[in-house]
Structure 1
C-alpha cells in the first residue's frame, strides 16, 4: 500500500492510472444510457401515456437525493487495508445494478417497471457517487480537471455504445417486435449486455486501483468511533447543507438548468424524435424508428467522448478557464436541442447530438472540477453527495409537471417542443456560469 495519504501532497498519476480508476464508469454509464434511452419506451409498451412518463421517472431522482449524501458520508468514514475507502461501495452498487438491469425489461406490469427503475437508480447511485470522490482523493489539485475529463471520456464511450445496443442487436437478427405490450427482445438483450459490462468494468477498477489511506489512521479511527450512529450522520449531513461553500450554491444554479434539460431529453427525446422525424404508422414501424433514434442519440456519447479526448490533451499540458469553457459548451448544447425542431432528414440528428454531446462532456467534468477545488478534502464524499441535490431537484421539478406544463405553455402541445424547452434550459445554464467568481474554482 502506498504511504501517500489523502492529506499530503499527492503524486501526479499517468493517463493509464487515471483511466484504470475511471474505467468502472463505463458500466455505470451503460446503466444510465440504457435507462435514459429506453425506459420511456418500456413504459409506453406497458400502456403508459406520454403525459405519465415524467411521473413514472420520479423515483429515480428521489432515490438519488436520499442515497448519494448518505453513501458519500459513509465512504468518507470507511477504510479497509484490503478494499480501501470508496471501492466497497463500487462493488455493492455493481452487484445490485447488474441484477436490476437484467430484470427491468422482463417487468410484467407498469408498476413493476417503475419499481425496477427505482431499484436500478438507487444501485447506480451507490456506485457512482464514490467515483467522483475518488478523483479528488487520488489526484493533486493541478490534475483535477484532467482526472474528471478522463472520467468523462470513459462515460462518453459507455453512452455511445449502450445507446446503440438495441439497434445493433436488431441488425444481428434479434426481434424488435413489441406486439401485445411486450418489451422487444432487442431491448432485453441490450439490458443483459449492460448488466454484464457494469459488473466487469467495476471489478476492473477495484482490482487495478489502490486507494490512499487516511493521513493519520489513528485519528481517523477515533473520529469514526465518535461519529457512530444514525443521528450523528443525519446531523453531519444537515450541517454540510448549512455550511456548503458559496461556489457550490452558485454551481447549483448552473446544475439546475443543465439537468432539467437532460432529464427532459431522457424522458422525451426518443418519443419526440420518433414521431417528428420518422412519423411511424404502426407499432412495427414505431419500434424500428425508436431503435434508430436510440442509435442517433448515441452520437451524443460519441461526441462527448471526442470532446473529452480533446480536453484530455489540453488539460494534461495547460491550465484552463473552467467557467468559460463550461458556459460555451452548454450554450452549444442548447442550440443542438433547439435544432432538433428543424430536422427534416434523419441524418441531421447526428449534427444536433454532436452539439448536445459537447455539453454533456462538460457537465460531467467541469462542475466537479470546480467544486473539488472549493471543499474540504476530508469531507469530499459527503459534499460530492450533497452536490447531487442540484442534479436531482431539477429532475423532481421536471417529473412533477415542470416539463409537461412548461413546454405546452411556452411552445405548444407537440411532443417535439420538449426539445425546445431543453434547449432554452441549457442556454440559461450556460449564462448562469457568469455568477461564479471564485478564482480557485475557475482556474485549473
Structure 2
C-alpha cells in the first residue's frame, strides 16, 4: 500500500508551522548578540553566551526524535504533540526575553527559547517523511525551505518595521530598544498561530497505516551495541580529557571546559549504554540512541561531515555579523549608540534578504540545477556560493553593497536546508525517521557548540576586537564542506546530467 499523493494544500499545511518556528529562530539569530551587547557584554564573550543554542539542540533533538517515533496521542498523533508543546514554550520565552534585566537572565532565556524551538522543529523534518511518498520528498523539503526563508524574512524585518512605525530604536545603556521588544512579542504570537495551523489542518497516519505503507522492521542497532567493546568510549573520554588539559595549559576561555565535559559525558554515556545492552536491556532510550548513532548508514555519515563544516560557517555568521557590520560598515563599537542600533536593524534587513533569496531559490534555482547536475553537485554549487558570500565581507565596505554578499549566502542557505535532506530522506527506514533526523541534526549543533566554545579563545588570541576575521574561518569551513561533499554519491533515482549510482 502506498501513501496518497499530497496536493498543494497538503504540502502547504504540512510545512506551514515551520514559518512560525523560523520567525523565532530569525529573531534569535539576528538580535541575541545585540541584546547581550545592549546589556553590557564584551564582544569576545559573545560566543560563550551563545553556547546555550547548540547545547540545547544537542541534548533535545535526539531525545525528541526517539520519543516522537514512539508516540501516539490519539487524535493529536505522533509528531504534532511536540509541535504544540514546543510552540507554547517558545512563545512564552519570546515574550519574556526582551524584558531581561541582566545578562545572566537573557542567557537563561536563550536556553529556554532554543530548547523550545528545537522541540517543535525536530519532528517537522520527520513529519515530511511521514506524510509524503518518497517521490514527493524533494518537493516537500523545498516547500519547507521556502517557509523557512519566508519566516526568517518576517522575523528579521520586525525591528526595522517597528522603527518605521515610529517605535524607538535606541534605549539607555543597559536596556533593550522597544523595536526589539515589540518584535519578540509579535514573533511569539506568529509562531504559536502558525504551528497551531499545522496541528489543526493535518491528520497523521496511524501506526497501523504507517505499518501498511512500509513493512520494515526496526534495525536492531541497540542489540548490535551489545557486541561493541569499550574502546571507542575510552577514546571519547580521552579526547575530552585532552581538551581540558589544553584549556588549562593555554588558559583558554572557560567555555572550552564545556566542550571537554561533553566529550567525556558522551564517552561515559556510551559505556553505560553498552553495559545495558549486554545485560539484555536494549529497549531503553540511551541504548537506542547510542546504538543508532554508532550504526548510522554510510551516506548519512558522509553527509554529516558536510553538515559539520556548513553549520560551523553559519553559526560564525549569526554570532558575528552584527558586531562586524557595526564596526566596519557603520564605524562604531558602542552598543548604546544610535549608529550601532542602526547597524543592528541593517543586519536584520540583510538577514531578511538572504532568507528571501533562499525561499525563492528553493523553489526555482535549486530544482533547475538538480535536474542538470544532480542533488549532490547542486549542493557543492550552493556551498561555493556561501564561501564567496562570506569572503566578500572583506572587500565590500559600503553597507548597501552587502546585499550582494547576502544573495550568495541565500543560495547557500537554501541548499543547506533542502539538498542534504532530499538526498537522505529516501534512504532512511520509516520506523526510525525521527531518531535518524535527530541524530543528523546533531551534526548541525555540534559545530555550533564548537564555535561557541572555541571561537572566543581564537578571537582573543589572534585578533582581539577584530571580528571580521571570523568570516575568513567561515569561508574556509565551506571549502572543507565542498571537499567532503565530493565523497557523497548521487542518490539512486537522482537523474542529474552527471549522476551515478
The question of 1:251 aligning with 2:303 is answered yes
Partner of 2:432: 379
Contact 2:312 / 2:477 at 8 angstroms: preserved in 1? Answer: yes
Could you tell me which of 240, 260, 271 is aligned with 2:292? 240
Unpaired runs of 5+ residues, structure 1, are 1-7
* Counterpart-to-counterpart distance in 2, 1:255 and 1:293: 24
Distance 1:130 1:284, change over 3 A: same
Q: CA deviation at 1:25?
A: 0.4
SS at match of 1:364: helix
Distance 1:165 1:403, change over 3 A: same
The question of 1:303 aligning with 2:296 is answered no
SS at match of 2:98: helix
Could you tell me which of 144, 166, 180 is aligned with 2:159? 166
Aligned length: 430
Q: Which moved more, 1:233-242 or 1:124-133?
A: 233-242
The question of 1:439 aligning with 2:432 is answered no
Partner of 2:412: 359
Q: CA deviation at 1:320?
A: 6.7
Partner of 1:325: 378
Could you tell me which of 316, 323, 339 is aligned with 1:271? 323
Distance 1:370 1:70, change over 3 A: same
Q: Provide TM-score, normalisation by structure 2.
A: 0.81
* Counterpart-to-counterpart distance in 2, 1:313 and 1:362: 10
Over aligned residue pairs, what C-alpha RMSD do you find? 2.5
Partner of 1:5: none
Q: Which moved more, 1:65-74 or 1:276-285?
A: 276-285
Q: Deviations over 1:252-305 (max 9, x none)?
A: 110111000010011001110121111138612211222122212211111101
* Counterpart-to-counterpart distance in 1, 2:169 and 2:414: 31
Q: CA deviation at 1:81?
A: 3.4
Could you tell me which of 127, 139, 144 is aligned with 1:134? 127
Partner of 1:416: 468
Q: CA deviation at 1:344?
A: 2.1
Distance 1:191 1:137, change over 3 A: same
* Counterpart-to-counterpart distance in 1, 2:494 and 2:305: 16
Q: CA deviation at 1:16?
A: 2.5
Q: CA deviation at 1:348?
A: 0.8
* Counterpart-to-counterpart distance in 2, 1:286 and 1:200: 33
Q: Deviations over 1:411-435 (max 9, x none)?
A: 7862112222212212321232101
SS at match of 1:374: coil
Distance 1:391 1:183, change over 3 A: same
Contact 1:76 / 1:381 at 8 angstroms: preserved in 2? Answer: yes
Distance 1:313 1:389, change over 3 A: closer
The question of 1:401 aligning with 2:394 is answered no
Partner of 1:3: none
Q: Deviations over 1:344-369 (max 9, x none)?
A: 21211111001101111111111112
Q: CA deviation at 1:378?
A: 0.3
Q: Which moved more, 1:150-159 or 1:427-436?
A: 427-436
Contact 2:13 / 2:201 at 8 angstroms: preserved in 1? Answer: yes
Distance 1:168 1:408, change over 3 A: farther
Could you tell me which of 4, 9, 13 is aligned with 2:2? 9
Partner of 2:273: none
Q: CA deviation at 1:443?
A: 5.7
* Counterpart-to-counterpart distance in 2, 1:54 and 1:253: 22
Contact 1:264 / 1:403 at 8 angstroms: preserved in 2? Answer: no
SS at match of 1:416: helix
Distance 1:376 1:355, change over 3 A: same
SS at match of 1:439: coil
Distance 1:347 1:404, change over 3 A: farther
Partner of 1:145: 138
The question of 1:287 aligning with 2:341 is answered yes
Q: Which moved more, 1:278-287 or 1:174-183?
A: 278-287
Distance 1:438 1:281, change over 3 A: closer
SS at match of 1:160: helix
Q: CA deviation at 1:215?
A: 3.4
Distance 1:67 1:79, change over 3 A: same
* Counterpart-to-counterpart distance in 2, 1:181 and 1:412: 23
Q: Provide TM-score, normalisation by structure 1.
A: 0.91
- Decide which structure has the larger Cα Rg and report it: 2
Contact 1:373 / 1:441 at 8 angstroms: preserved in 2? Answer: no
Runs of 4+ that moved beyond 4 A: 216-220, 311-315, 317-320, 406-409, 441-444
Give matches, 1:103-252, under 5 Å.
Answer: 103-215=96-208, 232-252=284-304
Contact 2:44 / 2:460 at 8 angstroms: preserved in 1? Answer: no
SS at match of 1:440: coil
